[in-house]
Structures are given as structure tokens and as C-alpha cells.
């Protein structure tokens, strides 16, 4: 019940295309869903986050779509750029704890 | 504002030794969490500290411990090191505990066990 399942494991997209990464969760008590971006040799950087009372949130080229009934959420990267090539992690947490449960990560390669 | 600072960046130890890793949170952040990152297990929660008290602990053996100081800085300690402890150890800070508080990560300490 504590798992967050992320897919695909790896993704190759052409420059200018849309990158889509999906996550699914079991625990309906989760109430915070962030996405992190990690470059080699660096720690994860917070990209964007959403709460279950919102179905979509957009920040620049990054959009989270949230489907509460399906217990799924996804990250869309519009107009993908080679500089977006990184590993992306979805995560979830609940209540008064900062404990983040992470997905297994998606390695994105954007080809020029 | 300076980000989360972790020291040292790299460490090489041998089996059976112990190690202490340090984390300085973003100024004004009072909550610190630690995570272990490995290729096989991904990112796993170790523990969370707030006001010098451990609030949550992940599913790790007692060899893994931590503490937080009155200035919110935190340390984690691993005793009797095993080969499987080789990992990137990440510290994250947030203003306060709770799931409505975004966590910001440092660049980690890369621990290698020989």
C-alpha cells in the first residue's frame, strides 16, 4: 500500500516533442504528489507538485495531471529540450509526515 | 539563499567501520529528512527530524541512526558498515514537517564501502 509505481523506466523523445511519465499509487491517504528532476551527480530538484483536490497544475512547460478515482498522476513535459534529459521521480506523502515514497524513476533522453 | 549543504561529498570506508554524514538545511528550515539512493532500491526514506526529535523512521536496521541539533543541522551515522551500504545519501529540508511542505534536497554524500 505504500508503493508508488512509475512508468516507463526509460523514455526517448525528439526535441520539441511531449514527454509523458506516469505514476500510480495505492494508498488513498496520500495527499501530496511532487515530481523531482535529477541530473547526474546532483540531488533531486523539486519541479512541480499537486494535491488531490486539483486535477491539473501547470508551471511553464511542465504539467501534472491528477486522476483521483484512478489513483494515477502524470507529468507532461511540453516542447521537450535536450536540457530536459535527466531522471524524473514521482513521489507521494501523507498527513503530518514529510516521508516521501518515491517511484523507481524514469530516465528521459531528448534527442536534438 | 544557500541550498542544502551536505558534507563530505565523497567517502570511502571499509567493512566494519562507522561513518558520520552531515547536513546543513536551508536557512530557516527546521525539518530535515534523510534518504538512501541506490540503483537497485531507488530512493528510500531513512528518517525525519524536527525540533531535535526523530518524527519518522524508515525500514532500516538500527545501525542507521541520526540526530538533529538546535540549529536544525543534522547528522546521520552508520555503524558496522556493510558492502550493501554503498549508496548516495541525500538530505532534504523543509520549513516545517508535513506533507504540505516542499522538500529541497542537497547533492548528497556518495559513500563507497570496500
Q: Among A99, A105, A106, pick the best mutation site for testing chain B contact (most B Cβ within 10 A).
A: A99
CA distance B46 to B64: 8
Edge-to-edge, what's the strand order for the sheet holding B74-78?
B5-7, B19-24, B74-78, B64-68
The answer to whether the CB of B92 falls within 8 A of the CB of B102 is: no
Q: How confident is the model at residue B99 (pLDDT cuts 50, 70, 90)?
A: low
Residues in A touching B58 (Cβ below 8 Å): 99
How does pLDDT run across A26-55, given as a tens digit for each residue? 999 999 999 999 999 999 999 999 999 999
pLDDT-based confidence at A1, cuts 50/70/90?
low
Is the pLDDT confidence value at A4 over 80? yes
Candidates A53, A5, A55, A46; CA nearest to A25 is A5
- The band of A96, judged by pLDDT with boundaries at 50, 70 and 90, is confident
- B83 three-state secondary structure: helix
What is chain A's alpha carbon radius of gyration, rounded to the nearest angstrom?
13
pLDDT of residue B97: 85
Strand A33-38, strand A86-92: pairing = antiparallel
Query: Each residue of B2-55: pLDDT tens digit?
Result: 899 999 999 999 999 999 999 999 999 999 999 999 998 999 999 999 999 999
pLDDT of residue A95: 76
Sign of CA dihedral B27, B32, B38, B42: negative
Across the A:B interface, residue pairs with CB atoms under 8 Å apart total: 75
User: Chain B: nearest CA to A21, how far in angstroms?
Assistant: 17
**Which residues of chain B have a CB within 8 Å of the CB of A45?**
104-105
Amino acid at each position: 500500500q505504500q508503493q508508488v509505481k512509475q512508468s516507463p523506466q526509460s523514455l526517448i523523445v525528439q526535441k520539441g516533442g511531449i514527454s509523458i511519465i506516469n505514476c500510480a499509487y495505492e494508498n488513498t491517504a496520500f495527499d501530496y504528489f511532487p515530481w523531482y528532476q535529477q541530473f547526474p551527480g546532483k540531488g533531486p530538484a523539486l519541479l512541480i507538485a499537486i494535491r488531490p483536490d486539483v486535477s491539473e497544475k501547470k508551471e511553464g512547460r511542465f504539467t501534472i495531471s491528477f486522476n483521483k478515482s484512478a489513483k494515477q498522476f502524470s507529468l507532461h513535459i511540453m516542447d521537450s529540450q535536450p536540457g530536459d534529459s535527466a531522471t524524473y521521480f514521482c513521489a507521494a506523502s501523507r498527513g503530518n509526515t514529510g516521508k516521501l515514497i518515491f517511484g523507481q524513476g524514469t530516465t528521459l533522453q531528448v534527442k536534438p | 539563499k544557500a541550498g542544502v549543504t551536505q558534507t563530505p561529498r565523497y567517502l570511502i570506508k571499509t567493512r566494519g567501520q562507522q561513518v558520520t554524514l552531515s547536513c546543513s538545511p536551508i536557512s530557516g528550515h527546521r525539518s530535515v529528512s534523510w534518504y538512501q539512493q541506490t540503483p537497485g532500491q531507488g530512493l528510500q526514506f531513512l528518517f525525519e527530524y524536527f525540533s531535535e526529535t526523530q518524527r519518522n523512521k524508515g525500514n532500516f536496521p538500527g545501525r542507521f541512526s541520526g540526530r538533529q541539533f538546535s540549529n536544525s543541522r543534522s547528522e546521520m551515522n552508520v555503524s558496522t558498515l556493510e558492502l550493501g551500504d554503498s549508496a548516495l545519501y541525500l538530505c532534504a529540508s523543509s520549513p516545517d514537517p508535513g506533507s504540505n511542505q516542499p522538500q529541497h534536497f542537497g547533492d548528497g554524500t556518495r559513500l563507497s564501502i570496500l
